[in-house]
A and B are shown apart, each in its own frame.
Chain A
Amino acid sequence: MKKTILSGNEAFARAAFEAGVQVASAYPGTPSTEILENIVQYERIDASWAPNEKVSLEVGIGASIGGARALVTMKHVGVNVAADPLFTLSYTGVRGGLVLIVADDPEMHSSQDEQDSRHYARFAKVPMFEPADSQEALEFTRLAFEVSEQFDTPVMVRSTTRISHSKSVVTLGEPLAELPATGLVRNPSKFVMLPGNARVRHPLVEKRITEMADWSCGQTFNRIEDGAGEVGIITSGVAYQYAKEVFPDAGFLKLGLVHPLPTQLIRDFAARYKTIYVIEELDPFIEDQVKAMGIPVIGKAKVPICGELSPGRLRQAFDIDPPQLIAVAEPLPPRPPNMCPGCPHRGVFHALNRLKAYVTGDIGCYTLGYMPPLSAMDTCICMGASIGNATGLSKVLDAEERKKVVAVIGDSTFLHTGINGLMDMVWNKSTATVLILDNSTTGMTGRQDNPSTGYTLNGEPAYLVDLEAICRALGVKHVVTIDPFQMDNTRAVIKEAMERPEVSVIITRRPCVLIKHDVVKTHPPLCVDVEKCVACKACLTIGCPAIEWTTGEDGAKGTCKIDRLLCNGCRVCMQLCKFDAIGACDE
């Protein structure tokens, strides 16, 4: 078969195709996003973005009940949103195979926490595979569909950033020639989880997990690699690769299925070695269960619980001398992420900073409004939280402080889980101000479509949700739409809304500069007239990556310089310059 190089996410998408998946649904979330983006290339799969992870899993469940194989993908925190259907799905089981791929983010490269999704598998009593490279991402996911149907259960596949976003060589498999038959089959005692039916299903769930623990002892995805010394290592996923790097001579029990654990296989393996290490990323998930079996192992006593692992961190954990490292002697200025030049969010946060608003923030590119010099975000909890946080905060403040509270949320995040918060805000008579930053895309995850962009995942035009009408329907009387590039107006409108003793929604509408459809027309770069510049640094207060301060030579005054390769002429800085020093470049 054909050999190619694939990322974990590309391999997951390929697996869905090979397994005959007919429906795939997801909400974008780093590091899982590219799975659905890659599935689009396979025409026999109906792939779509859902407004949130709960809806995506419900769509998957529906497809499974109709007889199709269905794939649902999300990032770790997305499972919190989808947990409600997940737990009941464990009871109902499936008709067509249903697989949920969850991508964890140890080290929080692009996340607000590093929760370990393996607990969800145990909590919801569903099996979970964990691949260690792209080849296993393909094989395990394909297998997961068979296991789902064989054991009448949803199956989870756990990825991590280093699996999803790493590439490795993959041998492709042959896709299923025939897709499963679909159609209506009534089976209400299995799919209607009234207490009477659920009481019948629960023992079946327990029996299923016990059976799988026995069955998995003889499966090739749980593999023993004999070692030379006295050390045996139990591991899974990407941690296996790091452990192989650091302990090349040890014996290995590499687990492909991390829930349920193959207890007899673990006992057999442990009996062969004097010392057993459990090497796993994040929580002592395997370790605790192996210890509960009465087997003494060394795990989190040495291996860090916080952050991702690496060969270097493992060496350090086990006191293995690293090579002599070159040291950089001086402290280096950090380079954190920043909003892009021409980003429509920048002016909004400048205004919020100047108005001294107390900003309850949300998840998206605009969370970078926290960074200096904008420094205009005070809270950020989870998707959709900004509005509820503002409501709660307002309840405990006096009239003056209450005016300061402004919730800031993006278009995609508002439609994800922000609407309910706004419903509560109006219904329960809060008075806070809500800004919906509508940049016509789901920016931070790489510009995906959402119900307010007017396109579906595969680029077809679709109904464009009317944000103003939604807000009015929820009872907001004061809904204003503004262009965030107009700095004075933006500030004035926000100021007025903050004063208003009722809920106001301000929609700041301007597409992301990197948007995929309807490419944004940019303007020629701007220049600083050095003669007019008085070095007041007002233009630096927006933190645009295209503007750089240069100190003057020999006591001369410094000036600001605009990088012509980065600037796309949004003119936000121009409006801040009181001395008319920023304008079109002289050719």
Chain B
Amino acid sequence: MNDNKVTNILMAGVGGQGTLLASEILSEVLMKTGHDVKKAEVHGMAQRGGSVVSHVRFGPKVFSALIPEGEADVLFGFELLETYRYLPLVKATGTIVVNNLQIAPPSVALGKAEYPADIAAKMRCHVKSVRLVEGLKMAEQAGNARTVNTVLLGALSNAMEPSYEQWISAIKHLVPEKFLSVNLKAFDLGRQSC
């Protein structure tokens, strides 16, 4: 990625999916590789199964923590609909890395609305690089369905500057001891998936 400008990563998902931990690890690793980093998100009410986003920006000097519309280089999605919702923030030349997972929002669960069809294909009409990751399958393979966030981080890590060792060191810094080995396994599976 270009070193002379700010790079923008927008993370989108559903409250409870672990986007917060993933954004923490991402920011930590970027700081350790010498960048100025800012990250913005909202805690509190939005967490209760609602739509959640984290903005992560890095470069030589970052002012706003919020990514301006149309300027996200990477849209990093944990769920299809939530990723699709934030499409207007992405550059047409950007990249989408998305978990191949549908979680029904309340109106869909109640049978009052349809979950939008063919989201991946629709996103491909606008953004060239859309990569689907089988997060849940790999997390189960790693031994814990709740490690989807680390699998996805592994998948994202391939396209980024920090070394494998730097990622592992950030994970070790932020994941509690008790869940560390399963998360390291999940990260590796994600990283090897593409």
Contacts and interface: CB of A to CB of B under 8 A. Distances in A.
A543 B106 contact: yes
Interface string A431-457: 000000000000011100000000000
A335 interface: yes
A169 B39 CA distance: 10
Contact of A337 (B47, B82, B110): B47
Contacts of A228: none
A166 interface: yes
A551 B90 CA distance: 34
A109 B70 contact: no
A309 B100 CA distance: 33
A333 B88 contact: no
B44 interface: yes
B82 A335 contact: yes
Contact of B105 (A162, A238, A335): A335
Given A165-B42, A540-B111, A324 B92 contact: yes
B160 to A, nearest CB: 17
Contacts of B115: 333
Contacts of B15: 337
Q: Give the contact-size bracket for chain A.
A: 35 or more
A110 interface: yes
- If over half of B's interface residues share one DSSP class (helix, strand or loop), that class is named, otherwise mixed; here it is mixed
A374 B78 CA distance: 28
Interface stretch (B61-69, B161-169, B175-183): B61-69
B49 to A, nearest CB: 4
Contacts of A459: none
B21 to A, nearest CB: 13
Contacts of A337: 15, 45-50
Interface stretch (A277-285, A365-373, A396-404, A497-505): A365-373
A165 B65 CA distance: 10
Given A30-B44, A444-B44, A565 B145 contact: yes
Q: Give the contact-size bracket for chain B.
A: 35 or more
Contact of B81 (A3, A335, A444, A446): A335
Nearest to A311: B68
Interface in A92-130: 109-110
A323 B91 contact: yes
A5 B28 contact: yes
A5 B81 contact: no
Given A540-B109, A548-B109, A340 B66 contact: no
Contact of A446 (B44, B69, B113): B44
B192 interface: no
B10 interface: no
A315 interface: yes
5 contacts: A166-B40, A168-B38, A323-B71, A337-B50, A371-B106
Given A168-B39, A244-B64, 13 more contacts: A5-B37, A167-B24, A168-B36, A241-B65, A242-B66, A245-B63, A312-B68, A323-B69, A326-B126, A335-B81, A543-B110, A558-B111, A565-B145
Interface of A: 3-5, 30-31, 33-34, 109-110, 133, 161-162, 165-169, 238, 241-242, 244-245, 310-312, 315, 322-328, 330, 332-340, 365, 368, 371-373, 444-446, 537, 540, 543, 545, 547-549, 551, 558, 565
Please name the 5 residue pairs, one residue from A and one from B, whose CB atoms are nearest each other, closest first. Answer: A30-B44, A110-B44, A549-B111, A337-B50, A337-B48
Interface of B: 14-15, 24, 27-28, 31, 36-51, 62-66, 68-71, 81-82, 84-85, 87-88, 90-92, 104-111, 113-116, 126-127, 145
